[in-house]
Amino acid sequence: MTASFPALRLRRPRAHDWSRRLHAENVLTPADLIWPVFIRDGENEREPVGAMPGVDRLSVDLIVEAAREAVDLGIPVLALFPNTPPDARSEDGREAVNPDNLMARACRAVKDAGIPIGLLTDVALDPYTSHGHDGLLSGDGRILNDESLDILAAQAVNQARAGADIIAPSDMMDGRVAAIRQALEAEGFRDVQIMSYAAKYASAFYGPFRDAVGSGGFLKGDKKTYQMDGANSDEAMREVAMDLEEGADSVMVKPGLAYLDIIARVKARFNAPVFAYQVSGEYAMMQLAIERGILERDRAILEVLTAFKRAGVNGVLTYYARDAAKLLGR
């Protein structure tokens, strides 16, 4: 038996921790993480998000503290999402271009504090509209693609003026990357990046996020006429190609875990910077299983994030960013 056994034993490199680390094909570091945080009104206010155990909405002053913590942990970017008060919402989402809205105030506060961290800001109207959609709505309930582009571009410029480093349009309107790039260039923001939500699917996994930003109760109908059909993969390639051609510096696939195949296809085909969003529903499922003792917390967090790296991402937006960075820093 010993004499006839193949010379190659694939278990050899697995025998010791040092050897497993030496042979690892993909390595996760804090620099691969983007930490999404939710902004609320007030001062020194921390409000738990009921549907997302362990995640809070933070007032602007606490966003600054979160930015400092992220830098200390080696996390390079914060992604900001506002919980706009109901009385500031409107049919046309005009609060999105208010230079003193929650997003703008949070950006300015972090930049004024001199914290060396990147700020990624979401461009879409759903946090600001009274109907909960990402674009303007017609009288008969249709999403108006072309009519939405001007306000989305103005929203992006508003965020850039406040200090945003990466504009992340998540609205899925056709042509919005070109409109935003042209607007940024015209205003002198040539170095502001665009990370487009290029392949954003109409997913069941967004529910807790809508609770976190306060848009869930406002949503009329669904978003299937502008977000992608989960059955489609080739269409994602067309979306990514269009956004890169229009001036996106990087692209995102959302959700993440259910679309690892899309991530892999995008990376293989375009060889461009690709990011994924481990969305609120994916986080909530894991967190509830962890809290019930079904999953081993530390191993589960790092295993899932490593899966994103294996699929080809350059980075992951994850509510576990802080936890993962602490684990990786041990």
Quote the DSSP letter at residue 234: H
Q: How far apart are CA 70 and CA 31, in angstroms?
A: 10
* Cβ atoms of residues 315 and 32 within 8 Å: yes
Other C-beta atoms within 10 Å of 113: how many? 14
Other C-beta atoms within 10 Å of 7: how many? 4
* Cβ atoms of residues 59 and 108 within 8 Å: no
* Cβ atoms of residues 244 and 251 within 8 Å: yes
All residues at 6 or more sequence positions from 131 whose CB lies less than 8 Å from its CB, including other chains? 91, 137, 218, 219, 220
Dihedral sign (CA 125, 127, 128, 129):
positive
| Residue 197, SS3 per DSSP | strand
Residue 18 phi/psi, 5° resolution?
Answer: -60, -35
* Cβ atoms of residues 28 and 305 within 8 Å: yes
Q: How far apart are CA 53 and CA 55, in angstroms?
A: 6
Q: Which amino acid is at 217?
A: G
Give the catalytic positions in this structure.
200, 254
Residue 239 is assigned to a ligand binding site: yes
Other C-beta atoms within 10 Å of 85: how many? 12
Binding residues for Mg(2+): 239
